[in-house]
Structures are given as C-alpha cells and as structure tokens.
C-alpha cells in the first residue's frame, strides 16, 4: 500500500515560513489520515476521501478556499480515475458545491461521466449535494486587491496503490486564478489525472502546458510499456522544456515505485510509504 498527495505550487511557501509550516503540517496530517483509510478501503475510495480532505483545507486552491475567477465567481473542477476499471469521471467548472471530487465519484457509475457547468450543478443537486459557498474572506481580499498578476497555484491531488494492487488518481482545483470564465483546467482531463493497471498520476501547474504535454497519460503509457516511473516522469517533463511548460506530478506504479517531480520550484507534497515524508 502506498499513497502520495500534492497541494499544488505555491511560491509563498518559499518565503513565508508560517504558510510553509502550515502546509507541511496539513499535508502530513492528511496523508496520515489517507493512509489509514487505505488500510480498509480501495484505492478509488481512498483517493476520493483524501482529496475531499484537501478540498476542505482552505490552504489549498480546491474546494473551500479556491481562487476567485476574473468575474468574481468560483468554479471548481475535479476528476477521478480508477486504474482497475479504466473509468474516468469528472466535473468541470461547477459552482456552489463543497466537494467536487465526491460528485466525480458519483459520476463514476454513470454512462455520461464528465459534466460541466450548470449540467454538473444540476446533477449534483439531484444527487443530494447541497448549496455551498467555497469562498473564504482571504480569497476575497486577494481578489479585491487584484493579486491577479501572479498566478497562484494550489491544486490538490492524490494517488493510491491499495492492498490488492489497484491504482487510482484524483485531482481537484479552483483553476489558476483570475481566468476568463469558461476556461477549462487540466485537472478534469486525462492530461492532468490518469490511471491504469500499471501507473497513476496526478498533476498540478499551468493547465494549458499540462494539456499540451498530455502529461499524466503520457507518463502512465510509458510506465505501461515498461519504463521505470522516475524515468517516465523525467522524460515527459523534459518534453515541456521547448515551450517552458510549468508542471508538477505525483505518481505511483503497480511495481510500487513512488515519485514526485516539478519543472519549477516548487510543488508541495507528502507521501506515505512505510513512513510519512513531507516536502521541505
């Protein structure tokens, strides 16, 4: 059993020791709870549970505490992939819900598995997901101060390998912040979140770059064809260099390899592989 999570990129973490410490503590606690869950649940159940905890933590840009978009609204995107069944489900730009990853989980059982906007919100309401405002005073303050020039990334993700050897990946985001309404993040695409029987990957970074590099699916396909996970990640991130792509990934292979890497300083992450490790 193995588990790795990320909390996206966050440049303040480098300079603001208080925020850095808060993120280290939050990630350590969440990876611990996630690993505990994995002892009695499947990889899919565990990535949903763990990402929902990350969504509820307002230090990260997913669920509660998400970035506000250029029109003052918050839109959330999240996806889930079960490596065993190869089913992918997700919501894109859904509004006024608490845990988009739980709506993605609900969709896993349907024929139509990726819903966007109003359709996703209607589906959520019909399935008992109540109105929820994910805005926090801090994000409103930042929005009002128009801190739009610096892209502030803090997407969350989780990859798990369960006791039966099955893999799953889940990713959730509030987007890159101040984007044009309607922009689609990578997080609810197979470029940002992908799993099969051989490997599972969750990405963070600039969605457009991640989609251009088809990052998560490329890494998993390389692992499927026999490449070690670390090499597959490095090769794929190298392919972003010609266009200065900005991405971070966490992943696990069915062979039990666990890996994280980023193109820029730096992605915040934590893993549970015998013991807890947290970014420093």
- For binding to ligand ASP (CB under 6 A), which residues are involved? 8, 61, 153-155, 173, 175-176, 185-187, 204-207
Please state, in angstroms and rounded to a whole number, the distance separating the CA atoms of residues 64 and 59: 9
Partners of residue 77 on adjacent β-strands: 173
Shortest distance (Å) from residue 189 CB to ligand ASP: 10
- Of the two residues 84 and 139, which places its CB atom closer to ligand ASP in the complex? 139
- Of the two residues 227 and 250, which places its CB atom closer to ligand ASP in the complex? 250
Shortest distance (Å) from residue 46 CB to ligand ASP: 21
User: What does each C-alpha distance from 25 to 2, 9, 155, 280 come to in angstroms?
Assistant: 19, 16, 17, 11
Q: Which of 135, 120, 125, 78 has the alpha carbon at shortest distance from 101?
A: 78
Please state, in angstroms and rounded to a whole number, the distance separating the CA atoms of residues 173 and 257: 26
Please state, in angstroms and rounded to a whole number, the distance separating the CA atoms of residues 246 and 205: 6
- Of the two residues 198 and 207, which places its CB atom closer to ligand ASP in the complex? 207
Shortest distance (Å) from residue 175 CB to ligand ASP: 4
Shortest distance (Å) from residue 186 CB to ligand ASP: 5
Residue in the shown chain whose Cβ atom is closest to ligand ASP: 207
- Of the two residues 185 and 263, which places its CB atom closer to ligand ASP in the complex? 185
Please state, in angstroms and rounded to a whole number, the distance separating the CA atoms of residues 88 and 18: 37
Which residues are known to be catalytic? 155
Q: What are the structure tokens assigned to 254, written together?
A: 């069915």
261, 9 in Cβ contact below 8 A? no
Question: At CA 246, angle to CA 2 and CA 31, rounded to 5?
Answer: 25
Shortest distance (Å) from residue 111 CB to ligand ASP: 27
- Of the two residues 35 and 248, which places its CB atom closer to ligand ASP in the complex? 248
């Amino acid at each position: 059993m193995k588990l790795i999570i990320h909390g996206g990129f966050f440049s303040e973490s480098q300079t603001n020791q208080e925020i850095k410490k808060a993120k280290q503590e939050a990630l350590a606690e969440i990876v611990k709870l996630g690993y505990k869950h994995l002892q009695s649940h499947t990889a899919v159940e565990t990535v949903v549970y763990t990402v929902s905890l990350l969504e509820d933590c307002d230090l990260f840009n997913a669920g509660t505490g998400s970035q506000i978009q250029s029109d003052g609204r918050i839109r959330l995107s999240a996806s889930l992939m079960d490596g065993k069944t190869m089913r992918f489900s997700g919501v894109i730009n859904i509004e006024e819900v608490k845990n988009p990853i739980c709506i993605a989980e609900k969709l896993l059982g349907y024929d139509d598995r990726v819903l966007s906007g109003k359709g996703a919100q209607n589906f959520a309401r019909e399935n008992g997901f109540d109105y929820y405002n994910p805005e926090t005073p801090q994000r409103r303050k930042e929005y009002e101060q128009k801190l739009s020039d610096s892209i502030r990334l803090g997407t969350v993700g989780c990859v798990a390998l369960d006791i039966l050897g099955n893999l799953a990946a889940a990713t959730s985001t509030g987007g890159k912040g101040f984007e044009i309404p309607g922009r689609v993040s990578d997080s609810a695409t197979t470029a940002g979140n992908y799993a099969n029987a051989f490997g599972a990957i969750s990405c963070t970074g600039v969605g457009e770059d991640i989609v251009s590099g088809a990052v998560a699916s490329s890494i998993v396909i390389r692992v499927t064809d026999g490449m070690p996970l670390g090499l597959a990640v490095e090769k794929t991130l190298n392919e972003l260099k010609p266009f200065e792509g900005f991405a971070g990934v966490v992943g696990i292979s069915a062979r039990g390899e666990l890996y994280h890497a980023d193109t820029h300083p730096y992605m915040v992450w934590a893993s549970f592989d015998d013991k807890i490790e947290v970014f420093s």
